[in-house]
Chain A
Amino acid sequence: MIPSTLEYTKATSLDEALAAVKAGARPLAGGMSLMPMMRLRLAAPGAVVDLGGVPELVGICEDGDEIAVGAMTTHRSVANDPLIRQHCHVVAQAAAGVGSMTIRNRGTIGGSLAHADPHGDLPAAILAAGGAVIVRGSGGERRIDVGDLITSYLTTSLAEDELITQVRLPKGAGQSAYAKFHRRAIDWSIVGVGVSIGANGVRAAAIGVGDRPMRLSAFESVLNGGGSLDDAIAQAGEGLSPLGDLDGSTEYKLHLVGVLAGQAHAEASSR
């Protein structure tokens, strides 16, 4: 279908973008989630502001013990970036597996986090790595851990006039990997798990098992307490109660969490 009537502006600076958002415009990043929603009329913003011409929002650089990734950086750039591949492999690997080439050419890291799809791969990978976002709005700038950003299905703790400007990835995420299961190439993950093994121990996060990316705390505590990988896998689903749906039953998804956590952990350890 054709999107409903809208007013389009293309911001050329962050200040312009923030002013437009404050005036009620919906940010348009890669459009890989927003455009289909507009075509289905699940979203009908009266105004959109295109972030594609804002120089402050693109690019990847080292900043102290973190990597700063502009919100408008595409999945393709994240997947191919040497810094991210070296320090936060889990995030590069998740980005490389998003949708298809055409989706990765346009879809962005900031858009993925803001969209907060409970099946989105990037949020789980960034949560496993221990990443955060920098957001800006009329109240100034603040930093939010990714675990506190996504609060439920398609819902974040961003204020209406706030934009994600940067994603911060720790350089100390250690060895890390992402494993997911989906039926066909372009499908969203039924379940996906990111694991990082850093100086502070194992961190693991999964999608497809709740209304937001979930830390696998039982899996983490078994391994961080010196337990075996087999025990950790057996307990990976503890505390989670994914809804059964067309993708699979609750039991099946809990089974997948264990299998994928094991795979991601084995791959991370061998890296």
Chain B
Amino acid sequence: MEQTITVTVNGTAHTAEVEQRMLLVHFLRETLNLTGTHIGCDTSTCGCCTVHLDGETVLSCSLLAVQADGRAVRTVESLEQNGELHPIQKAFHENHGLQCGFCTPGMMMSALGVIEQHPGASDDEIREALEGNLCRCTGYQNIVASVRSAADEMARS
């Protein structure tokens, strides 16, 4: 079955006819060409596909695109504005928070989920917020340092 949906992605409303079985992550990547959101598993385990749905972090691989009809999605592509990196992107760059970068979009969206609501988040709270994001490269230490630094920066500004 096909269905016409309208999803606001990073502030822009997109209307498209999609198959009802289409996953939100495929809608983002293949219909809208927003390939920053990655797919790393079939078991809702890796967190690479994390986006915000109406302000809450969700796994875009575990939602149907039709479930986002009429709602607002925010992806990693929203972070950079006019060529200027977002503080979380700068922090990952400066703290060597990535190696291959595959997990990074999901990491940053999960991290923003906690620090935007709670800029004073402790390291433990940051680690808890990242529990659902797997990284095969970094050993997590520099990721937590990046998020810590971004949280501090965002609390200052």
Contacts and interface: CB of A to CB of B under 8 A. Distances in A.
Interface of A: 1-8, 10, 31-32, 35-36, 39-40, 50, 52, 99-103, 105-106, 185-186
A102 B20 contact: no
Contacts of B63: 31, 35, 106
B131 A3 contact: no
B23 interface: yes
B42 interface: yes
Given A31-B63, A36-B62, A100-B131, A105 B21 contact: no
B66 to A, nearest CB: 5
Interface string B61-86: 11110110000000000000000000
28 contacts: A2-B21, A3-B64, A6-B1, A6-B20, A7-B1, A8-B20, A10-B66, A35-B44, A35-B62, A36-B62, A39-B61, A40-B43, A50-B67, A52-B67, A100-B131, A101-B57, A101-B129, A102-B47, A102-B50, A102-B59, A103-B44, A103-B59, A105-B56, A105-B57, A106-B58, A185-B131, A186-B45, A186-B132
Contacts of A8: 1, 3, 20-21, 64, 66
B42 A1 contact: yes
Interface in B16-51: 19-23, 26, 42-45, 47, 50
Contacts of B61: 35, 39
A6 B19 CA distance: 9
Contact of A39 (B1, B42, B58): B42
B130 to A, nearest CB: 8
Nearest to A31: B62
A2 B56 CA distance: 24
Size band of the interface chain B makes with A = 20 to 34
A116 B62 CA distance: 19
Contacts of B45: 186
Contact of B132 (A2, A3, A39, A102): A102
B110 interface: yes
B113 interface: yes
Contact of B23 (A3, A99, A105): A3
Nearest to A30: B62
A100 B132 contact: yes
Nearest to B51: A102
Given A8-B20, A39-B61, A101-B131, A32 B44 contact: yes
Contacts of A40: 42-43
Given A100-B131, A101-B131, 18 more contacts: A2-B22, A3-B64, A4-B21, A31-B63, A32-B44, A35-B63, A39-B42, A50-B67, A52-B67, A99-B131, A101-B113, A102-B50, A102-B59, A105-B56, A105-B57, A106-B62, A186-B131, A186-B134
B116 interface: no
